[in-house]
Structure 1
Amino acid sequence: MPFPSPPDELDPATLAAARPLDLCRSPASPGAVALVDDLVAFILAHEAGPASARKTKRREAGKRELCGALGAVAGSLLDAWGGHGEPRPAYRSKTAAGFSGGPVGYRAFVATMGALVTLELVREHGGKRFQTEGWDPASPLSKGWAARFWPRAALLELAEQHGVSPATVRQDFRLAPPSKPPKVKDPVDLRPFVPEGWGADRPKPRLVASKSDELATLIAADVGEHNAMAERVTVTGCTPPRWKRVFHGAWELHGRWYAAGADGVYQTMPQALRGALTIGGEPVVELDVQAAHLAILRGLCGLGPVEGDPYHVEGVPRAASKRWLLEALGKGKAVERWSRRTPDADRAQDAKVIRAAMLKRHPCLGDPGVVVSPALAARLGVSPEELVSPFLAAREAAAMSWAMRELRGRGVLALPVHDSLIVPASARAEATGSIVEGFRRVCGIAPRVETKSALPLSSVSGMREGKPGESSSQPLR
């Protein structure tokens, strides 16, 4: 099966669904090596031509650098476009800060990608930054999109000529994550809260918390303990994980755990590749909280768990009702029309029909902003509805943090992926119990936890069954 034909421009929904451009791939098959060799030849010929801005000829070290960069870029672009089923562009910031210590340097990436775009082998949708009037456009706190890239027809045809296809691309370009763990400069990243759609008529970003707060010290100590445990436990298949937590404006907003680094990071890997990780020499399972934000909202509103599939709407594809919930919680209200970023397949469904059915099943969606403190919203200069999504994310992070501490106390390293934890397969039962207990304590609900495993569950269950124990630990917000 060939790669899907690439359009000249992508719709907003596809651009928003871009995958990370991971620069730790290298050619591993004869076809991939030949493809990269051809690309090197094209770029060297271009650099030697009159249209090139390059003034000096590359030496052998420069050619090797170009070859490495091309293998990483081509492998990641082709994988994003054909290795996951639905073709997607890949995103990567073009700022120097995102390349510190990575396998491909900033200058090598910019030069290589620039040449591929010039040679009409890759198409670029430029990144952009949004800021309020008078706000420093160079500030990292400004909201924006990283540049998007996707292969053009000429690159896909060249790949297919060398036998690289969607079915083989992950074998053709192997993932080789860095073995050196990234440095974490600050385990607590407190950023100003930036309202959606902000501009001259919106309030400027605000902070109502401080790193001098006692809570900041507790959070930093918790992250430090998890990073210290990761130093003692070997994790393979990804860059050795180290974390920080990111808060937006206040300790009650966001707070998720982010793995440091830009390449080979397990959190940005497709689930199939995460399933191939090992922790302490063991295969892993990924434990996912079903409809985590909806479950949290129901728990905080005193509704309890929902029976059956929380996304089910009679006669409506599950993907469309799931998309509706995502947009409703993002807006903080039960939306009646789709956003411009909604995929066409979901947009074909009647948003009002989905709204009525979801409100009937989940009455809390009628006014989700009720769970947000009006005082907090007033201090940030926004409405409670605008804080629903980051507030629910913070409750989710607090519940997962509780579970991670509980498991850490039992000698189990858990790798957080926002609404899921990756743990050694032998710790599946006790990790599930810890997640459920964490959500019960923090959110007032026992969620449904699904197991995603790289092994048959019959094999996993026979390895080591644990039982969740009681703990006097209090939730750390």
Structure 2
Amino acid sequence: MTHFDERSDQEHDALLVLLGGEGLGEGTVPPPAPTLMHDPWLTVRELSPLADLAASLHAKLEAASARNPNRKPRADAAERRLAIVQNLVANLALAALRHPPGTRLAVQADKKSTTRYDRKELPRGPLIDTLKSLAEEGLAVYHAAVFKHLRTTVEPSARLRSMLTQAGASLEDISRAPGGETVILKAVVGRNRPKILVDYADTGETLRLRAEMRTVNDALAGADIRLRGERQPPDQLVRVFLVDGAEARATFDGHGRLFGGYWQSLPRARRAGLTIGRERLVELDYRAMYVHLAYAYAGAALPAGDPYAVAGLEGHRDAVKKAAASLFFRDGALRRLSGELRELLPAGWTAKRLSAAVEAKHPAIAHLLGTNIGPSLANTESNILVAVLLRLIGEGVVALPIHDCVLVAESAKAAALAAMREESKRLVGMALPVEEKAGQ
């Protein structure tokens, strides 16, 4: 099972989906950049300029369809068609208002049976038909799929961008339909292949996890969160759990990190523009969290000093950090260096030498390295973060999670520090060290 690196696991899967689940082969066309995944749960806020624009476009498409003698109007489908137009307009508006020209939306065009992850009002056939109709009206640019290479993509046209400006539409006009799944289970099905969604039966555990996410998302939706003074469309955080293989039993003890917040993928410089309640934010980070969690698991105390300071690798901290992550998320010994690790290490270092150096630095947890304990550590990390968020919400504080850290208003810094230390002690038996990152 692969681990979560600095790049969002969802972004990685989105890219693979866009590529048809395969890497780019020789002679293929590279994907457009940037590319977003179509979000079936976006819609327009009622009584907004964007809602008016969607209603106008829907009426125009309905009138054109009514002139088609091969189509028999169905009154019971009118609401569904409107929902599709509202969803597509919201997605295209998001691409146009938040991202540069040329940004595309990748759309899942193939038909499959409906699962808990689908929005039933948006069946794929009518969705694609409506996209094509918008393209025929000059409101979108439709790019058909390239078999085994690129998925269907669409982008807002210059005409639609102009209409959005004339209508006075803004990101605040974008809303979210209720009902999106927040407890996601995916299966790892191979290297460099997108993880597949797993449909599962609810249990007491999944109901509890979903209730926790509802509390978190309701608090986020009710908070005054802005980027450079502008309210953003409401995001929905989800927890993503992983299992090994499509036939594996549905369990929720592997990974579980929180994804879905737009702030998670913002470059650090742009995060400085985030505010909650008009206050600037501070970033509080668990230091070397996986190493500390491994020591807690082993019932041992972590020695003082930097856990990534290894003899012979002074000045190569990033290499040691990545090596430790690799050793947590693998079965068996590290037999060869990845290209990234090789670039970070000084000349003469091998996989065997690197592993021995990490083990010598951390003898108390050496027996855990190469045992694929990483997914369990990641699950503990995410459980702690959710507990911190829930505790802060109970104290009237909203925090923005980014995997092993939180962003909070400056006035809530002391409360957040206490929550992070005390919740980690409650869950793993030791208060994990927390530091404020500079430059936020």
Distance verdict in 2 for CA 1:70–1:395, change over 3 Å:
closer
2: CA distance between counterparts of 1:360 and 1:403?
33
Q: Does 1:178 align with 2:171?
A: yes
1:334 Cα deviation from its structure 2 partner = 4.9
Bigger drift between 327-336 and 286-295 goes to 327-336
Q: Does 1:216 align with 2:206?
A: yes
Aligned partners of 1:298 and 1:364 also within 8 Å: yes
Instruction: Tell me which amino acid in the other structure corresponds to 1:417.
Output: I
1:284 to 281, 288, 291: 281
Q: Deviations over 1:340-384 (max 9, x none)?
A: 554623474613333222112223553327xxxxxxxxxxxxxx9
Aligned partners of 1:300 and 1:444 also within 8 Å: no
1:240 Cα deviation from its structure 2 partner = 3.5
2: CA distance between counterparts of 1:205 and 1:287?
33
SS of 2:318 mapped into structure 1:
helix
Map 1:327-338; keep pairs closer than 5 Å. Answer: 327-338=326-337
Instruction: Tell me which amino acid in the other structure corresponds to 2:268.
Output: Q
Map 1:459-474; keep pairs closer than 5 Å. Answer: none
1:189 Cα deviation from its structure 2 partner = 2.9
SS of 1:212 mapped into structure 2:
coil
1:248 to 242, 267, 270: 242
Instruction: Tell me which amino acid in the other structure corresponds to 1:298.
Output: Y
Aligned partners of 2:241 and 2:256 also within 8 Å: yes
Instruction: Tell me which amino acid in the other structure corresponds to 1:244.
Output: V
The aligned residue for residue 442 of structure 1 is 427
1:95 to 93, 107, 117: 107
1:303 Cα deviation from its structure 2 partner = 1.6
2:374 to 366, 377, 389: 389
Q: Does 1:191 align with 2:178?
A: no
2: CA distance between counterparts of 1:11 and 1:327?
25
SS of 2:329 mapped into structure 1:
helix
Distance verdict in 2 for CA 1:355–1:417, change over 3 Å:
same
Aligned partners of 2:24 and 2:149 also within 8 Å: no
1:248 Cα deviation from its structure 2 partner = 2.0
Instruction: Tell me which amino acid in the other structure corresponds to 1:253.
Output: G
Map 1:249-398; keep pairs closer than 5 Å. Answer: 249=243, 250-259=251-260, 265-316=262-313, 317-340=316-339, 342=341, 344-346=343-345, 348=347, 350=349, 351-363=351-363, 365-368=365-368, 385-386=371-372, 388-398=373-383
2:410 to 425, 428, 445: 425
Distance verdict in 2 for CA 1:427–1:70, change over 3 Å:
closer
Map 1:25-104; keep pairs closer than 5 Å. Answer: 72-73=99-100, 94-96=106-108
Distance verdict in 2 for CA 1:349–1:93, change over 3 Å:
farther
In structure 1, stretches of 5+ residues that fail to align are 1-9, 13-17, 24-64, 77-91, 115-125, 130-137, 139-145, 148-175, 370-383, 456-477
TM-score by length of structure 1 reads: 0.53
Q: Deviations over 1:7-65 (max 9, x none)?
A: xxx999xxxxx998377xxxxxxxxxxxxxxxxxxxxxxxxxxxxxxxxxxxxxxxxx9
The aligned residue for residue 248 of structure 2 is none
1:329 Cα deviation from its structure 2 partner = 1.8
Give the RMSD, CA atoms, in angstroms: 4.5
Aligned partners of 1:403 and 1:438 also within 8 Å: yes
Aligned partners of 1:312 and 1:318 also within 8 Å: yes
1: CA distance between counterparts of 2:24 and 2:186?
30
Distance verdict in 2 for CA 1:69–1:453, change over 3 Å:
same
SS of 1:94 mapped into structure 2:
strand
Instruction: Tell me which amino acid in the other structure corresponds to 1:447.
Output: L
Instruction: Tell me which amino acid in the other structure corresponds to 1:273.
Output: R
Instruction: Tell me which amino acid in the other structure corresponds to 2:359.
Output: L
1:451 to 432, 436, 440: 436
In structure 2, stretches of 5+ residues that fail to align are 1-22, 26-30, 37-91, 110-117, 154-168, 244-250
Aligned partners of 1:335 and 1:355 also within 8 Å: yes
Instruction: Tell me which amino acid in the other structure corresponds to 1:449.
Output: V
1: CA distance between counterparts of 2:368 and 2:319?
20
1: CA distance between counterparts of 2:358 and 2:386?
30
SS of 1:251 mapped into structure 2:
coil
Distance verdict in 2 for CA 1:186–1:110, change over 3 Å:
same
Q: Percent sequence identity over matched residues?
A: 25
Q: Deviations over 1:140-168 (max 9, x none)?
A: xxxxxx99xxxxxxxxxxxxxxxxxxxxx
